[in-house]
A and B are shown apart, each in its own frame.
Chain A
């Protein structure tokens, strides 16, 4: 029983790492622009497919595809930003509709280019097992994704709190008018946030390609999961995203172990509802989540 519980906790922690890596980009963009980018999951997926193309066509290690994937995802992100920046009124609701539409276009674009087959890395190293104390099991891909994701999130956290640009992002999130009066260029800051989110999406996409399977309909699933975690964390809270994602990962994993795998989504949603019931603005929410 202890073995089962430990493995469940370990698996939940690693799953939470995946979730957090996907969700943190969404949270960052929301924090700066008050926009829920419903095409975020599709950006992650696009990165995964670039990794697939690089591996299947040129025999590249998926990790080596990150620069190319970043270029493509960053460019698409800029197009999304350019379209979003044209919205003049009711930004929150109109941006939801616009990004949802962009997500559908991207899904169908991926379907047209790469067909509907499922894909994952064929590099055996990523699938090899890492065993800790003969009790905890994981794939190398999961460990790399967790450690890499954690490092990226720590870097974003540091950047937000210790760099001038990061402070500008937080200032914009806190009070847009005041930040503009203090010399912050909102457009530049928003573009920067979108590019950082693209970087996170790129890493998440390659991580998913190496540790899970990818298929065209996955983008929407990732967006929904990221959205739930972002709301659970408190809209715009970066460290809340990590904690919320790990909580969801662990509760799902424990549900699989002690109840049924078919109830894991339900368990995650129950946790989500309980947290919102107790704290309506999420775990670390509030109007100035990014500012903290």
Chain B
């Protein structure tokens, strides 16, 4: 009897173990993500930066879920072309990707995410900040940053400087124009005199424009809204013409390690949005792992593009796992699961509203100081004193 009971118990235990093992094997899944990015063309640099962040997120997820789940990303270069971005999204959806992470440039993300929406596939990005993207109310569209966050940072810094007159020099693209107009409206409402100067992406000589600012506007601050080569052109023109301003302020792609390294003389004392100081000071375990993985994969310090690419992909992977565990992934439950996101990330708290926007996104402002980027706004995030008035010349 005792022997029979022992045999029965052993059989039950073995069966339970088998069921358990079988269950865990059944739950192990390979998830294929899609990524459409500009790896060539005008936006190649920013596209490659985001691509690196996505690769880091995939690497870290595979490490964290080793033996249970695996993640892969299929990437297609959209060549900085909206039409090719749509084709890329359609091809990736045809390959059976679970969701899409990537995209750069509001004018490219617009049609690309529309193609994803038509197929009911989630599209998450940090590369397009124009309000129109979330204004469409697509159920499948998500982004972790927006114009408001950049504008708030620029406006906050200008107010900290107590500037009375500001000249905004901005690129005539959708995202840059929207940001410039928001800065003008907000600062104007606070009694700051703002003059606007639009330029085209083909502009390479900014001397006539900066001369106009110097002789006609005579501002306290020149606010630049463009991309790297625009900033270099404006700053070079300003260095030659030496307008009597107290500060040069910009937004993305300016207060970066890359700019400090490539243009040391031009960048000194220039302000730009920056989540982290340079050299990077990571303290949280996740951030440290991110930095170590980035260094391992690309043999360099992470930049803001990699950071954003990583965060959007990490949040997507988390939501995929939650939806999979709830059994809703195959039945289109991923957008709802993403909307439940409430996470502390490398760029701060992220949640998504009904339109897919992150209402908590606020940027910080950094200043180039002696080859470093020092955070100077807001005060609670600052890791050094702002040099003001100070210009590169």
Question: Is A4 a contact partner of B200 (Cβ separation < 8 A)?
Answer: no
Within 8 A of B (CB), among A158-202: none
Query: Contact string, A200-235, partner B, CB cutoff 8 A, digits 1/0?
Result: 000000000000110111000100000000000000
Partner of A116, one of B45, B203, B215, B242: B45
Partner of B205, one of A4, A15, A127: A15
Question: Is B211 a contact partner of A4 (Cβ separation < 8 A)?
Answer: yes
Question: Is B40 a contact partner of A111 (Cβ separation < 8 A)?
Answer: yes
Q: Shortest distance in angstroms between B29's beta carbon and chain A's nearest beta carbon?
A: 34
**Does B202 sit at the interface, judged by CB under 8 A?**
yes
**Does B208 sit at the interface, judged by CB under 8 A?**
yes
Within 8 A of B (CB), among A97-125: 107-108, 111, 115-120, 122, 124
Cα A265 to Cα B202 with chains together (Å): 7
Question: Is A127 a contact partner of B199 (Cβ separation < 8 A)?
Answer: no
Query: Contact string, A232-255, partner B, CB cutoff 8 A, digits 1/0?
Result: 000000000000000000000110
Q: Shortest distance in angstroms between B212's beta carbon and chain A's nearest beta carbon?
A: 6
Partner of B45, one of A124, A215, A221: A215
**Does A95 sit at the interface, judged by CB under 8 A?**
no
Contacts of A215 in B (CB 8 A): 42, 44-45, 229
By size class, the interface of chain B is 35 or more
**Does A262 sit at the interface, judged by CB under 8 A?**
yes
Partner of A11, one of B44, B208, B265: B208
**Does B198 sit at the interface, judged by CB under 8 A?**
yes
Question: Is A124 a contact partner of B265 (Cβ separation < 8 A)?
Answer: yes
Question: Is B212 a contact partner of A253 (Cβ separation < 8 A)?
Answer: no
Q: Which of B197, B204, B205 has the most CB of A within 10 A?
A: B205
Do A257 and B211 form a contact, CB below 8 Å, given A124-B265, A217-B41, A262-B199? yes
Q: How many residues of chain A get a CB closer than 8 Å to chain B's CBs?
A: 40
Question: Is B258 a contact partner of A117 (Cβ separation < 8 A)?
Answer: yes
Cα A2 to Cα B334 with chains together (Å): 63
Q: Which of A15, A260, A265 has the most CB of B within 10 A?
A: A260
The interface-forming segment of B53-61, B146-154, B231-239, B277-285 is B231-239
Q: Shortest distance in angstroms between A57's beta carbon and chain B's nearest beta carbon?
A: 14
Q: Shortest distance in angstroms between A68's beta carbon and chain B's nearest beta carbon?
A: 21
Question: Is A262 a contact partner of B172 (Cβ separation < 8 A)?
Answer: yes
Partner of A261, one of B80, B200, B232, B242: B200
Contacts of B208 in A (CB 8 A): 4, 7-8, 11-12, 253-254, 256-257, 261
Query: Contact string, B26-53, partner A, CB cutoff 8 A, digits 1/0?
Result: 0000000000000111101101100000
Q: Which of B44, B207, B209, B265 has the most CB of A within 10 A?
A: B207
Contacts of B205 in A (CB 8 A): 11, 14-15, 253
Cα A42 to Cα B134 with chains together (Å): 38
Q: Shortest distance in angstroms between A112's beta carbon and chain B's nearest beta carbon?
A: 10
Question: Is B48 a contact partner of A7 (Cβ separation < 8 A)?
Answer: no
Partner of A139, one of B44, B215, B228, B236: B236
Cα A137 to Cα B240 with chains together (Å): 7
Cα A15 to Cα B209 with chains together (Å): 14
Number of A-B contacts (CB under 8 A): 117
Contacts of A115 in B (CB 8 A): 45, 48
**Does A3 sit at the interface, judged by CB under 8 A?**
yes
* Closest A residue by C-beta to B262: A119
Do A111 and B44 form a contact, CB below 8 Å, given A122-B262, A261-B197, A264-B200? yes
Contacts of B199 in A (CB 8 A): 256, 260-262
Contacts of A108 in B (CB 8 A): 40
Partner of A213, one of B44, B211, B232: B232
Within 8 A of A (CB), among B72-93: 80
Question: Is A129 a contact partner of B240 (Cβ separation < 8 A)?
Answer: yes
Query: Contact string, B199-225, partner A, CB cutoff 8 A, digits 1/0?
Result: 110111111110110011000000000
**Does A138 sit at the interface, judged by CB under 8 A?**
yes
Do A139 and B203 form a contact, CB below 8 Å, given A116-B45, A120-B263, A217-B41? no
**Does B162 sit at the interface, judged by CB under 8 A?**
no
Contacts of B197 in A (CB 8 A): 260-261
Partner of B203, one of A4, A257, A264: A264
Do A216 and B40 form a contact, CB below 8 Å, given A11-B205, A120-B263? yes
**Does B288 sit at the interface, judged by CB under 8 A?**
no
Question: Is A11 a contact partner of B207 (Cβ separation < 8 A)?
Answer: yes
Query: Contact string, A261-279, partner B, CB cutoff 8 A, digits 1/0?
Result: 1111100000000000000
**Does B332 sit at the interface, judged by CB under 8 A?**
no
Contacts of A213 in B (CB 8 A): 204, 228-229, 232-233
Cα A257 to Cα B264 with chains together (Å): 29
Contacts of B236 in A (CB 8 A): 127, 139
Question: Is A261 a contact partner of B198 (Cβ separation < 8 A)?
Answer: yes
Partner of B239, one of A8, A116, A127: A127
The 6 A-B residue pairs with the shortest CB-CB distance in the complex, in nearest-first order? A116-B44, A261-B199, A116-B45, A129-B240, A256-B208, A262-B172
If A215-B229, A260-B197 are given as contacts, then 9 extra A-B residue pairs at C-beta distance below 8 Å, sorted by A number, are: A3-B211, A12-B208, A127-B240, A129-B242, A137-B207, A137-B241, A212-B233, A213-B232, A216-B40
Please, could you name 13 A-B residue pairs with CB atoms under 8 Å apart, sorted by A? A3-B215, A7-B208, A8-B208, A8-B211, A14-B205, A107-B40, A115-B48, A120-B263, A127-B236, A138-B207, A215-B44, A217-B41, A264-B202
Q: Taking beta carbons and an 8 Å cutoff, which residues of B are in contact with A?
A: 39-42, 44-45, 47-48, 80, 172, 197-200, 202-209, 211-212, 215-216, 228-229, 232-233, 236, 239-242, 258, 262-266
